[in-house]
Amino acid sequence: MASIGAVATAPLRARKAGENSPASIGFLVTLWVAVAVAMICLLTLLVTAFVDGYPRLDGALFTRYSSRVIPETAGARAAILGSMWVIGTTALLAIPLGIAAGVYLEEFADEQRWYNRLIEVNLQNLAAVPAIVYGMLTAGFALAIGLERRVVLAGAIALSLLILPVIIITTREALRAVPAEIRQGSLALGATPLQTVWRQTLPSALPGVATGTILALSRALGEAAPLLLLGGLVFVSYDPNGLMSGFTTLPIQIFSWTGQPQEEFQELASAAIIVLLGLLLLMNALAIIIRNRYQRHW
């Protein structure tokens, strides 16, 4: 029977040609090409948007309303304000709900119960549902309760539904990363489970929750489909002034301008794209800063 032989004392073998074989090289080249294609697409997009939009990145873009006929002096004022209203309302709706749901599922729900398991499975699926479906859901819901579909509140509901699963999932992940020892330490002192969550677990998880939430909101900011489905207005020449106010948002405005035949509208759209990209970049940067500065590595 074979047994473990003597200690190997032969000289170390020379490096195999493996790394330089045609198959390895082919594989590497494929990887590089894939990266290059992605980068080139992204760069083209950015550069053309910049080149086209830069001349229109002026004060009028921020201060003037859109126009159907004179693109030269039209602006995205209503869209920028509309985006702020909708995203602000979305944040107010989705953040407390999402965090509360995440805390319940992670800290209190009994995983043995069928209904909790059902929620669990559905959450994963919901996060993958196309955005437009949430628009349809909200439209149906608005109809049922007699809410006007084209107002800030309806848009915010659609976007909240869209990002709720993401917020819940990131909240749970952030909570799960907090070591069980912290909870035990708190409970062993005579703290209640609720005090433990409120004063220890959740604060420890907050950087992770904040990062995930900001990323989710930035996704909502760039979303047009569900709002279009709600019949989002493409032409607004007033400042939105409340939850029941009609509105348009940057993505909708961009969508509508790019549909216009005039060259000037294309430039205007490019300028608005730059603004939108800038906002998204800012939010993502904020998320990264929070993660790097406050995220704890246990």
Work out the end-to-end distance of the chain between its first and last CA atoms, rounded to an integer number of angstroms: 49
Strand (E) or helix (H) holding 220: helix 202-221
Please, which residue, 19 or 181, has the CB nearer to other proteins?
181
Q: How far is CA 249 from CA 76, 103, 215, 232, in A?
A: 9, 32, 18, 8
Helix/strand/coil for 189: coil
Decide: 229 and 132 in contact? Cβ < 8 Å: yes
Are 130 and 99 contacting, i.e. CB atoms less than 8 angstroms apart? no
Q: Please name the residue that has the structure tokens 């006929």.
A: 69
Site residues (CB under 8 A) for other proteins, limited to 167-186: 179, 181-182, 184-186
From residue 24 to residue 63, the character string flagging contacts with other proteins as x (rule: CB under 8 A) and all else as - is ----------------------------------------
Write down the least CB distance from residue 298 to other proteins, Å: 9
Examine residue 293 and tell whether it contacts other proteins (CB under 8 A).
no
Residue 54 vs 294, nearer CB to other proteins: 294
Q: How far is the CB of 290 from other proteins (least distance, A)?
A: 16
Total number of residues that touch other proteins (CB under 8 A): 20
Please report whether residue 200 would count as binding other proteins according to CB under 8 A: yes
Q: Which is nearer to other proteins, 191 or 243 (CB)?
A: 191
Instruction: Please tell me whether residue 187 binds other proteins under the rule CB under 8 A.
Output: yes
CA distance 287 to 91: 15
From the list 204, 218, 245, 249, which residue makes contact with other proteins (rule: CB under 8 A)?
204
Answer yes or no whether residue 137 interacts with other proteins by CB under 8 A: no
- Cα separation values, 76 from 63, 69, 160, 234, 276, Å: 7, 14, 24, 11, 11
From candidates 44, 73, 192, 262, binder to other proteins by CB under 8 A: 192
CA nearest neighbour of 103 among 170, 161, 172: 172
| Secondary structure string (H, E, C) spanning 72-136 | HHCCCHHHHHHHHHHHHHHHHHHHHHHHHHHHHHHHHCCCCCHHHHHHHHHHHHHHCCCHHHHHH
Q: Which of residues 98-117 bind other proteins (CB under 8 A)?
A: 110-112
**Closest separation between CB of residue 178 and other proteins, Å?**
9
Contact region for other proteins (CB under 8 A) — 90-98, 131-139, 150-158, 199-207?
199-207
Span of 25-33, 152-160, 194-202, 245-253 interacting with other proteins by CB under 8 A: 194-202
Of 4, 17, 189, 293, which lies in the binding site for other proteins, with binding defined by CB under 8 A? 189
Give 22 or 190: the residue with its C-beta nearer to other proteins: 190
Q: In terms of Cα–Cα distance, which of 2, 199, 197 is closest to 102?
A: 197
Which residues of the shown chain bind other proteins in the complex (CB under 8 A)?
Answer: 110-112, 179, 181-182, 184-192, 195, 199-200, 204, 296
